[in-house]
Amino acid sequence: MQRFLGTVSLFFFFFYGICIPNVYSRTLPKVAIKKIRVYSLPTGIKIKLNTTGKFFYKSFILSSRKSEKYIVVDIWPAYLPQVRKTISVRHPQVKKIKISQFNRKTVRVAIQLTKKLAYNTKKWKNNLTLFIHSPKPLKRKKKTCILGVKVSYPPPQGLKIIINTQGKPHFKDFILPGFKKLSPRLVIDLWPAYLPKGFMKKANIKHPFVSQLRVAQFNKQTVRIVLSLKISRIPYKINFQGNRLILNAFSATASEGSSAILPSILGLKIKKVVIDPGHGGRDPGAIGYKGLKEKDITLKLAYLLKKRLETDLGCKVILTRYRDKFVSLERRAAIANRHKADLFISLHCNACPSHRLHGIETYFVGLTDDQYALAVAARENASLNKGRGELNDVLLDLLAKAKIKESAYLAAEIQKSLIQYLRGKRYNPVRDLGVKQAPFYVLIGTDMPAVLIETGFIDHLREGRRFCRERYLQRLAEGIVRGIENYIKVVKYSPTMERGIGG
Ligand SMILES: [Zn+2]
């Protein structure tokens, strides 16, 4: 009940104070402003006015033309004896307090602010208290320093980016689609965070699907890391491990347990590859260094390549022969066609009467008047039971159907990758004999892009020795896989080529 009365009387007083003062103020004697005290508190500024008697007051916020803000308190009937007229205040939002005789019966207290602040007033007997609230401090987390960004390439074709941070900022990751000349981007924002001075802001990424990494202070609070992509999306996972934000892309874990990483990303139908280990059985192929037989090298290499294609590219791989057995050239092509393979890779070793030639060359099918290429084709076609004239008719007939353009690209990518890869592995010298065209029967018969790789000269001393080492054959297989991988990429970005695949 008492509380209720209190509310009523307060309300009455408020009402009385605001609306009726002028009627009564004339009759009341003026009070003197005795004292004004200012207290600076962590939560705001407290101003206490002490007068000699009863008074009325009102308060409001006033904005000047210069966009200055004031809290104004008018007190009446009152007069101003000797008190300080200006009080400066040490407060970020309160500049100074001015006290003046506003008119004959009103004393005005004006508090200059740098911005609008909340306040409240309280009157108690002859005292008036004004409390100006400081703005609530924003809960700002301390900014985290980005210490460094490290890029690595876990095999077979992963991309790992480690962002070292001092603390643990928030992060979000998203893909921005490509627009006009701008490539698609993977964006990682970290906040609150900052880059220290002299931070390396750009790095080229040596990955088939990611070209560049950029790091920048995006705004006051946010550090942005951008990966430029060559494809519209990539499989990746990102999370904090201690003070390291780790991005894993193109890894087995990033694509949720699927080993078919590449074809699934690209949505391409490079699912089945037929590898053709040249010769076999009664046909040993070329004989070389220390009696080394071409048929044995090609079979060993075929198995290594099969394993690589399966694990690295997730392809299904079929060999035209799995052991030392004679298989006709027609049959080899027929195997590839029957399985509806997407690519056909024929593996061979070269030889020449002088035993002096060395190097690697890749062929795709075609007519040529290059005597060297014709000689190589003649040797590889030797097991064919067809006369020259008959062969030419077949050639012309089949050439019209051959996927020559795709085969040319495939040959170019394999040749380039193989040479680069072997040189990168410090085999020296590795002679690049280039991409050539010749009428290989085994290639003509196939319905899919097809190439024949002359992986080296078996009768050359150095290359023959290399063929004896499993490690070298392994490197050859890895180089070929890289070429196929790059070919898939070329096809993906050439709309006219895409139709040629898998159909
Ligand atoms: Zn051969």
- Give the pLDDT confidence of 72-120 residue by residue, as tens digits: 999 999 988 876 688 888 778 888 899 999 888 999 999 998 888 889 9
Cα(294) to centroid(ligand 1), Å: 7
Cα(4) to centroid(ligand 1), Å: 108
Of 474, 376, 362, 484, the C-alpha closest to 427 is 474
The rounded distance, in Å, linking the Cα atoms of 236 and 163 is: 15
Cα(293) to centroid(ligand 1), Å: 10
The CA angle 293-294-296, to the nearest 5 degrees, is 70
The CA angle 285-291-296, to the nearest 5 degrees, is 50
**In this predicted model, which residue has the larger pLDDT, 136 or 23?**
136
What count of residues does the chain have?
503
Cα(367) to centroid(ligand 1), Å: 19
The rounded distance, in Å, linking the Cα atoms of 230 and 208 is: 8
- The answer to whether the beta carbons of residues 147 and 166 sit under 8 Å apart is yes
- The answer to whether the beta carbons of residues 213 and 226 sit under 8 Å apart is yes
Cα(384) to centroid(ligand 1), Å: 13
Cα(120) to centroid(ligand 1), Å: 97
Scanning 197-267, the segments in alpha helix (DSSP H) are: 261-266
**In this predicted model, which residue has the larger pLDDT, 34 or 227?**
227
Structural domains of the chain, ranges and CATH numbers in brackets: 28-133 (2.60.40.3500), 144-249 (2.60.40.3500), 261-498 (3.40.630.40)
Cα(342) to centroid(ligand 1), Å: 22
Distances (CA, A) of 199 to 189, 194, 196, 206: 16, 10, 6, 20
Q: Compute the average pLDDT of residues 334-351.
A: 94
Instruction: Extract the tokens encoding 376.
Output: 């190589």
Q: How far apart are the first and last CA of the chain?
A: 91
| Segment 196-223, tens digit of pLDDT | 887 778 888 888 778 899 999 988 889 9
Mean pLDDT of the chain: 82
- What ipTM was assigned to the predicted interfaces of this complex? 0.98
Cα(346) to centroid(ligand 1), Å: 9
Cα(394) to centroid(ligand 1), Å: 21
Residues with CB under 5 A from ligand 1 (ion): 278, 285, 348, 380
